[in-house]
Amino acid sequence: MVLVVSGSASVDGWPRDLGPILDLWGAACERAYRESALFSDVSIAEGRGDLRVEIALQGNTHQIDVLTALSYLTFLILPHVVTTDISMVTRVTAGDGQPIGTMEVQGRSRTWHWFFLFPISSIYEPQSVTPEIVYDMNRDTISALHARGVF
C-alpha cells in the first residue's frame, strides 16, 4: 500500500504555512496504518502499489480576537481559547487508479491560555496534541472503511 499525505492550514480563514506539523501528522497517519495490521507493507514513498491511500488534512485555527486581547491585557488572568479544527479526507484507489472509497472525518483541539495553567501549558500545546488526534481520526477511518469492505 502506498500512503500519500498532504495538508494545508489557515488561521481564521486566511491561508498560512503548515510548517513542521505536517511531518508529525504524516507520521501519525503512517503509524495508524502500520499498526492496523491490515496491510503487509505501508510505503510513504511515491511509487506503485496494489492500493493507494491519499490523505488530505486541513487545519483551521481560530480564536475570538476581543477575548484574546482582554486576556493578554490582564496578563492571562482572564483565559482565552484557541481552537484547531482538523478535517481529513481519505481517498482509496486501486493500483490502476480506479476509486474504491472516500471518507471524511473531523477532529478538534482546544488550547486554553490561562495564568494558572502556565506550569503545564507546554504539555498540551497543539504540536503535541494534534498528532494524536490525527492518529485517532485515521484509526476511525480504517475501521469504517474495513467495515465497508474497502480493506
Domains and CATH numbers, the chain: 2-61+86-107+127-147 (3.30.160)
DSSP letters for 6-73? EEEEEETTEEE--TTHHHHHHHHHHHHHHHT---S--B-SSS--SEEEEEEEEEEEE--HHHHHHHHH
| pLDDT tens for each residue of 84-95 | 999 999 999 998
Q: What percent of the chain has pLDDT over 90?
A: 60
pLDDT at 95: 83
Q: In the predicted model, what is the mean pLDDT of the chain?
A: 89
What SS3 state is found at 140? Answer: helix
The confidence band for 114, taking pLDDT boundaries of 50, 70 and 90, is confident
pLDDT over 80 at 139, yes or no:
yes
pLDDT at 28: 95
* Residues 144, 146, 151: CA angle, nearest 5 degrees: 135
Q: Are the C-beta atoms of residues 92 and 4 closer than 8 Å to each other?
A: no
pLDDT at 123: 59
The confidence band for 121, taking pLDDT boundaries of 50, 70 and 90, is low
| pLDDT tens for each residue of 47-70 | 777 899 999 999 999 999 999 999
The confidence band for 45, taking pLDDT boundaries of 50, 70 and 90, is confident
- Higher pLDDT pick, 105 / 117: 105
Distance between CA atoms of 43 and 79, rounded to whole angstroms?
43
| pLDDT tens for each residue of 22-39 | 899 999 999 999 999 898
User: What average pLDDT score do residues 114-126 get?
Assistant: 70
